[in-house]
Amino acid sequence: MNDLIDQFVQTNQPYYRGTFARMMEAPGYRLTTNWAAALLGPIWFGARGLWSWFLGVLLLETAAYIQIGRGLFGDLGRDLRLRAESIAETLATREQQIEAAERTGASSLDALKRAAASLETAYQDALAASEAAAAGGWLYIVVGLALLAVIKGMVAVLANWTLEGQFMRWRSDPSAASGWSNRRFLIGAGISAVVVGLSVIKFARPDAVALLNAFPTNKAWRLDVGDGVQAAFDWTKTSGRGFFDTLTIGMRGLLDAIEVVLVQTPWPVVALVIIMLSYLSAGPRVAIFTGAALAYLGLLDFWEKAMTTVALLGAAAMISITLGIPLGIFCARRPKVFGVVRPILDFMQSMPSFVYLIPVVAFIGSGKPAGVVATMIFGSPPVIRFTVLGLQQVPETVREAALAFGATPRYLLWRVDLPLAAKTIMAGVNQTILLSLAMVVVASLIGAKGLGEDVLEALQFAAAGQGILAGLAILFCALILDRIVAGK
């Protein structure tokens, strides 16, 4: 063990032998002090390769150094002085107005004199407060030194504990950072100097370096880039008109077919089928809840809009699932492809929904087909990710056993991989459906009908009661779909 410790720490080996031996006597934290780490602060953690601790300690010490810097050479009365200068400019304007009123004998002369007197008092008060603030630098120094002492003490009692944890990781993974690296020491010292130096200058003397107050940029750059993006959109819209028209027609046809089933079919038939699906999928309790929820939709005149919403959701979810599961299977078997697809999925999930409504409307126009596309963009990633995750979690031993018994790739996929990954894939399907339903209100902004339209109108006219009722209708639709999909 001592040889391992010597190999790991590389410097001050006798000290760390005794310290680590004491810390390993019992599990948990054992109080030790490392004053070298306290003195060097974040640089010590950087030299030891503990970069996460380096960052945390650096931020804490920077806060302390900022207070000390403000106390030593900071312009503490700056804000109050600027306020006094602003008052002085206003006072000069009032004095000019008083002179003009005296020449003309205006009736507002007395009011102007009272205003000037108030401004003079405020000016003197601001100057006095500025001088008092400038004289209070010692308080910032005391606070900064006290904060720095607390941080140094914390580092002293935590340094050995963090290094011992790194030693444990290094024993199982030799690639973990070990020893004292002069290169890491210099990098840590450079980063610390830049962070502390620039932060102290910015907070102590805000006007000293203008570059620190605003990022160097040029507004014309954004305009030029925006024009380039607009030109790319226009070219894509013009050259791909046939594709986008075909896509719109296909989605409109799918939506019309689903609406025929849900909207034009007699409501008792639709309600009975949905209740039976709930009973077969999740049992009698869910069936009773489904019946009550459907009664709520019908009695409060939400039935037709609810079915329109479910039709839009159904079209988007159907396309997302139909394309998402095969794509997930393909990505699970080809990691390089998934490496390309993953950033696209991250983009689809991270981009605010209102932003990608812009290209959807630009290429497809407003209306229900645009709502379906926007809902697909928002709801597709979960089913792809969960499919990849489920297939990656299939035990390799099971697959090897199936191959040993002569399973073909098709048999392996349909009889081994997909059955074992079914629960994870269905969780992705469930998330896709619920996320698609979450787009109901957003899709109503681009002309998609349904319950989202009622919520949007309630927001526009501040009709809280109607908005809550429409929101509950969306909630009940979500719960019904969730219970059916996540049933037995």
Across 289-313, average pLDDT: 87
What confidence tier does 488 reach under pLDDT thresholds 50, 70, 90?
Answer: low
Across 430-444, average pLDDT: 80
333 versus 151: which is more confidently predicted?
151
Decide if pLDDT at 122 tops 80.
yes
pLDDT of residue 190: 95
CATH of domain 240-485: 1.10.3720.10
Q: Are 305 and 450 in contact (CB under 8 A)?
A: yes
pLDDT of residue 453: 79
- The domain limits of the chain are 2-75+138-212, 78-135, 240-485
Per DSSP, helices labelled H in 334-367 are 335-350, 353-364
Decide if pLDDT at 211 tops 90.
no
What confidence tier does 442 reach under pLDDT thresholds 50, 70, 90?
Answer: confident
Q: Mean pLDDT for the chain? A: 86
Across 251-263, average pLDDT: 81
pTM (2 d.p.):
0.69
Quote the CA–CA distance of 116 and 119 in Å, as a whole number.
5
**Residue 202 CB-half CA count within 13 A:** 12
Across 134-145, average pLDDT: 86
Mind listing the pLDDT tens digit for each residue in 462-473? Answer: 778 888 888 888
Contact residues for 95 (Cβ-Cβ < 8 A; gap 6+): 116
Q: Are 427 and 346 in contact (CB under 8 A)?
A: no
Quote the CA–CA distance of 96 and 381 in Å, as a whole number.
67
Quote the CA–CA distance of 380 and 9 in Å, as a whole number.
50
Lowest-pLDDT range, 26-35, 37-46, 52-61, 277-286? Answer: 26-35
Across 284-299, average pLDDT: 90
Phi-psi region of 186 (alpha: psi -120 to 50; beta: other; left: phi over 0): alpha
Mind listing the pLDDT tens digit for each residue in 151-203? Answer: 999 999 999 999 988 988 998 888 888 889 999 999 999 999 999 999 999 88
Residue 234 tokens, joined: 């226009």
Phi-psi region of 12 (alpha: psi -120 to 50; beta: other; left: phi over 0): left
Closest CA to 180 of 195, 196, 168, 163: 163
DSSP state of 173: -
Closest CA to 30 of 168, 165, 147: 165
Decide if pLDDT at 318 tops 80.
yes
Decide if pLDDT at 81 tops 90.
no
- Burial-class residue 144 by CB neighbours within 10 Å (0-12, 13-18, 19+): buried
Quote the CA–CA distance of 130 and 126 in Å, as a whole number.
6
For residue 239, the tally of other CB atoms under 10 A from its CB is 9
> Helices then strands (H, E): number in the chain?
23, 0
Q: Is 135 helix (H, G, I), strand (E, B) or coil?
A: coil
Per DSSP, helices labelled H in 173-218 are 182-204
Decide if pLDDT at 54 tops 90.
yes
